Structure 1
Amino acid sequence: MNFIAPIFEVKNLNFKVREQIILENISFEIFSGEYIAIIGPNGGGKTTLIRLLLNLDKYTSGEIKIFGKKFKDFKEWYKIGYVPQRATLVDENFPGTVEDIVKMGRVAKRGFLSGISSEDRAKVHDAMLKMDILDLKDKMVGTLSGGQRQRVMIARALASSPKILILDEPNTGVDMASQQRFYTLLSKLNKEENITILFITHDVGVIVDDIGRLFTINRKATICNDPKKILSCDEVSDLYGIHAHSLANHKHEH
């Protein structure tokens, strides 16, 4: 029987700034094909956790492995697609087309000095097709709506053919109709393309029927394998300092 390493293996993770504890004793594993949402209050450490997973910040103690390797041994960063917080807030005068932006996703795979190959062009085309933005490929990205920019940024992440897609509050600046379309696209990527999804959201009630697990982060972590159950329990109330029904009743009418 072959052992398949988790995409991420986190053990006893701690992070503090000076004497302030941001994340404390967090452990979990993320496996191929999972669809995981992260929730928690502002300042609870959600974005910090993502940055630690991506080696953008250095943890204080503990261990993180990616595909069974420590950071110092891991070189295949193209396997991880990342859409940072507020990525859709592009300057209106930004001098690049949609296709230009999506091509940037091939840099992680090929390197800055490599030319664009026929394979690269095919991957860029496929990523734009999946995000339904082929008709926008020659548009300047600064002229697009928030929802369109969102799909462009996800297409850029998909262009490297990642095994996991990590998104930090990707609906910032996006209207309600585009948000619903976004969640449909995410679910399709997970189910049809078998892309692992990990994303931070405040709209967990909208996608509770789709996600497989829910991570609640507020300095410490609670890992829930039954998201519908946690939405009706006291843990969410404690996490946010609000009544859980404000999340549980947030259904698909959006």
Structure 2
Amino acid sequence: MTRQIVAAQSGWGKSYAAQYLTVDQLEEFEFTIIADYKDEYRGLAKAGLAKWMGLGSEERSISADGWQRLIKDNPRLVVARAVGLADWRRWVATISRVAQGLPGDALVVIDEAHFVAPQETGYPEAVTELATTGRGNGVASMWITQRLQKLDETPLSQADSRLLGGFESDRDRSKIAGYIPYDVGIHEPGGQSDSLQRFKDPEGGLKGSEWIYSTTDGEKRRVDTREWEMDVPHFGGEAPSLSVPG
């Protein structure tokens, strides 16, 4: 994996799948930096696989050189957002530059990537470089989103592998139609006989889901995350179900 997209609608188990993939690939990289938009990846720190820190008003003033020293001292780092979107986007740009100057292969994981590289507004050039030329500098990237229609074309078009789940939105499905070597209809839940599925436990909680993994080399296979066991705590933020009173 050098540039990977992980995407599905909310409630499909996206953060679990992304965390599993991240943990599975940790040993391949000397450095891993996770830009954790909703503080869902702190399980890696709980398991002793990474250090955790928040990005708040003090941390946002750390220079690029300061971040480079910090990452060298903590080569696996989960950084949880505690600032506004503009500051978060600037920080991801800083980390994108820093990662390309580290003395070893690095993986940058960007959660809720549609906020960092949005379709409708501009974003820092360093983020574009991460999506395009990063691998030439020994940097791989994982772009995680639940809103494909809002993600800029650059990360999507430059990805050499994709793990895609279900999308109720026609606009999300149409966004990927030109990049996948198969019928996009499989990503519409309940849309056709072979559509991807989610699986619930008796209490209504998500216990797994189906995905399509594909690459630019032509590989394509169906994946069921019920088969993915992980010894790392997962803190996915699934809200309680709402019901109609009466």
TM-score by length of 2: 0.47
TM-score by length of 1: 0.45
